[in-house]
Structure 1
Amino acid sequence: MTSSLFYHVSGDGQPLVWLHGWGVNGSIFLPTVTQLSQYRSYCVDLPGFGDSQPQPGTIDDWAELLIAQLPANAIWLGWSLGGLVATRIAQRWPQKIRGLITIASSPCFMAQTTPPWPGIAATVLQQFTQQLEQDLQRTVERFMALQAMGSNSARDDIRHIKELVLSKPLPNATALAQGLEMLQQTDLRQELPHIALPWLRFWGKLDGLVPRRVSTLLPQTPQSQDIILPGASHAPFISHPEDFLHHLRDWLQTTNKGV
């Protein structure tokens, strides 16, 4: 059975598909897409988040649902967990999408020891898993606060994130557990060199969840570009909207000219 997927559509032009991170919903991008009216933006609620119905299964089940219900030839933008899903879509259906943009996202979120890989300590996500069972709303709000920690405008950023996200229903408990499992278990590193699409990667210099050092470990190709935003943490489009939009617009214009 196919789950019902909600997405907010705005603007007109080249389609952009926006995928949010864990614990939030597509509303997080609304202030950003209002500045990009020359593109047709699809701000998606991932399965079980916001107004979308849950979709049982793995990251591949989510990817199949999304690619089936969203427009072909779009540029896919994914933030954090959404970047993991967008990367998986780029690996599986490169012929159906025009480009990939990942924002504060890693192909492997968990820290590894052999070989060394920077990321989140296993104990952190284990704590969130345990806390979810005790108090869903408090756990989600705590994670929202983590998105902004480290940025120069953390307090304002946290308030802004909550205002946007809490305008919709809280995520489904099962979907939250699925998302945590994806962050804990998904490792897309092996197939990254096969991504030949234009790929823009945003990083926050002060990000405490996805260290900027990940950027130095990813494949560097003529089609890839890394942007590190000084002063930004895990949500650079919230804390540094003008810088974020400047780099995004430049890349989109260049990429569209090259097609």
Structure 2
Amino acid sequence: METLGAGAVDIAFERVGEGPPLVLAHGAGDDSRAWGPQLEGLASDFTVIAWDEPGQGRSSDVPEGFGLGDYADCLAALIEAVAGEPAVVCGISWGGTIALELHRRHPDRVRALILADTYAGWRGSLPPDELRDRVDAAARQLDAADSGMPELPPGLFAADPPAGTARLVRAMAAAARPATLRQQLRAMADADLRDELPRIAVPALLIWGALDARSPLRVASEFARAIPGAQLVVLEGAGHLSNLERPTAFTDAVREFCLALPPM
């Protein structure tokens, strides 16, 4: 792992392969280990950079009040310092919301966007009743984490994952920092980036699990209608963590999209 200082935080990241830069942003409560299949599968074609977002994994804690814009600014700093040129940015779930905010604040850092099983913020993608239920459920999960009994959010997978994948997800959940997750919960619950979708002027790929119960295909369809020229790939048999549940299909979709991009 390498480390980059970005303002008040230190960002740990993994870099593998050679070629055009591809930056991976994981979901809330995860870290760069969530991208293991993609780090291995895409390194032959790209310089793949997967961060531990601030406050998670091997990155430093975040200060009080650290919000969505701060995450996007840190991701922009990582792209500038490590990639040295605009990058394809792939974000899943909360990581996709960060990628949208990155495009809003730093469009010059983004060559293309890959948004997977994500949201335009919870306020931007969930009905009000579901938003309230989601916030309440997340608060209960954080209370359980404070007591030393972390719970996984429901609906991460469409079916029982392989034992190794289940162990990985539980290990990342056990290592997640409740203080970070509480700040992320506030940021995600308040975010509404729907107005950014039609402004996306770079190539965009949407990858969604057909059985995603947390960000259902309805959200993918809204993204596809709003983002000019967006491509949508639906992975059959996959839930919210589609990159882990259908890793080969996910990786192949990313590779095909990136290799078809026009030269810089």
TM-score by length of 2: 0.85
Corresponding residue number in structure 2 for 1:142? 152
Corresponding residue number in structure 1 for 2:76? 67
The alignment partner of 2:28 has SS state of coil
Is 2:122 the partner of 1:109? yes
Conserved? CA contact 2:93–2:116, under 8 Å: yes
In the TM superposition, what whole-angstrom CA distance separates every residue of 1:138-178 from its partner, at most 9, and x where no partner exists?
33x422x6311xx2xx3224750432662797122211111
Corresponding residue number in structure 2 for 1:48? 55
Conserved? CA contact 1:28–1:165, under 8 Å: no
Is 2:217 the partner of 1:212? yes
Which region of structure 1 is more displaced relative to structure 2, 41-50 or 162-171? 162-171
Amino acid of the structure 1 residue aligned with 2:35: F
The alignment partner of 1:196 has SS state of coil
Q: Which segments of structure 1 move beyond 6 Å, counting only runs of 4 or more?
A: none
Residue 254 of structure 1 is aligned with which of 236, 248, 260? 260
Conserved? CA contact 2:200–2:227, under 8 Å: no
Question: Structure 2 CA distance, aligned partners of 1:158 and 1:24?
Answer: 17
Amino acid of the structure 2 residue aligned with 1:209: R
Corresponding residue number in structure 1 for 2:10? 4
In the TM superposition, what whole-angstrom CA distance separates every residue of 1:19-69 from its partner, at most 9, and x where no partner exists?
100111111102221111121111111111111112231100111122113
Question: Structure 2 CA distance, aligned partners of 1:138 and 1:258?
Answer: 49
Residue 197 of structure 1 is aligned with which of 198, 202, 206? 202
Corresponding residue number in structure 2 for 1:126? 136
Percent identity between the aligned chains? 26
Amino acid of the structure 2 residue aligned with 1:199: A
Residue 101 of structure 2 is aligned with which of 70, 88, 93? 88
The alignment partner of 1:135 has SS state of helix
Change (3 A) 1:85 1:220: closer
* Within-5 A mapping of 1:213-252: 213-218=218-223, 219-222=226-229, 224-252=230-258
Question: Structure 1 CA distance, aligned partners of 2:174 and 2:58?
Answer: 7
Count how many residue pairs are aligned between Structure 1 and Structure 2. Answer: 246
Corresponding residue number in structure 2 for 1:116? none
Which region of structure 1 is more displaced relative to structure 2, 50-59 or 3-12? 50-59
Conserved? CA contact 1:120–1:210, under 8 Å: no
Alpha-carbon deviation of 1:212? Answer: 0.5
Structure 2: state its 5+ residue gaps.
Answer: 1-6
TM-score by length of 1: 0.87
Conserved? CA contact 2:25–2:95, under 8 Å: yes
Conserved? CA contact 1:17–1:42, under 8 Å: yes
Question: Structure 2 CA distance, aligned partners of 1:55 and 1:74?
Answer: 24
Conserved? CA contact 1:7–1:44, under 8 Å: yes
Alpha-carbon deviation of 1:98? Answer: 0.7
Corresponding residue number in structure 2 for 1:19? 25
Conserved? CA contact 2:152–2:173, under 8 Å: no
